[in-house]
Chain A
Amino acid sequence: GAVVSQHPSRVICKSGTSVKIECRSLDFQATTMFWYRQFPKQSLMLMATSNEGSKATYEQGVEKDKFLINHASLTLSTLTVTSAHPEDSSFYICSARFGTGNYEQYFGPGTRLTVT
């Protein structure tokens, strides 16, 4: 099956700094990538959807200036958490899909962000 990787798997940063998380589709071209956030013992919350070469579409309540998403190529999307605060600590999961009507969506292994 299709593989999606994320890097890093875990990151600890200090308050006020920025951290970038990479999401790559390894064996397919991801026309659409999704970024989710998962709080402990909770379900996934969709943060934004990005199509290659265009601006991301953010879900209601997600600050676009705080969570910068770049989808510069068909195999790479990045999420940058700017001026991180402890409340940004969470598990971030990316997902990728090929095509607009395709029902198959593949998830990365997640990145655990801890802001101290």
Chain B
Amino acid sequence: GEDVEQSLFLSVREGDSSVINCTYTDSSSTYLYWYKQEPGAGLQLLTYIFSNMDMKQDQRLTVLLNKKDKHLSLRIADTQTGDSAIYFCAEKSYGQNFVFGPGTRLSVLP
């Protein structure tokens, strides 16, 4: 089946930039997503990108997509303690269900 991989942990200092990486295997992926999950809570959609885009920026969030390498990244500028959470990468093809990565636990150190 299709697979989505992420590194499991990332620690950064407050004020620095965080970069969370994701790779996927489905070459027909049409949509790619980043979700945030805080402790004990559901998933919050942060941003998504269509496969025909290379980059999308939304305030402190920048998504980069390298379709050739099937690599997606999420950059959080000026990382704050409130950004500490688990970040899930997910991909979706048209008419198919979401495939989630294992999640990256981001810890923001003061």
Contacts and interface: CB of A to CB of B under 8 A. Distances in A.
B100 A109 contact: no
A93 interface: yes
A44 B88 contact: yes
Contacts, number: 46
A104 B42 CA distance: 16
A1 B46 CA distance: 12
A41 B86 CA distance: 9
Interface residues of A, number: 23
A109 B42 contact: yes
Interface string B33-56: 001000011111100100000000
25 contacts: A4-B42, A34-B97, A34-B98, A41-B105, A42-B102, A42-B103, A43-B88, A43-B101, A43-B102, A43-B103, A44-B88, A44-B100, A100-B95, A101-B94, A103-B30, A103-B48, A103-B92, A104-B45, A106-B45, A107-B42, A107-B43, A108-B42, A109-B41, A109-B42, A110-B41
A112 interface: yes
Contacts of B94: 101
B43 A93 contact: yes
Interface of A: 1, 4, 6, 34, 41-44, 46, 49, 93, 95, 100-101, 103-110, 112
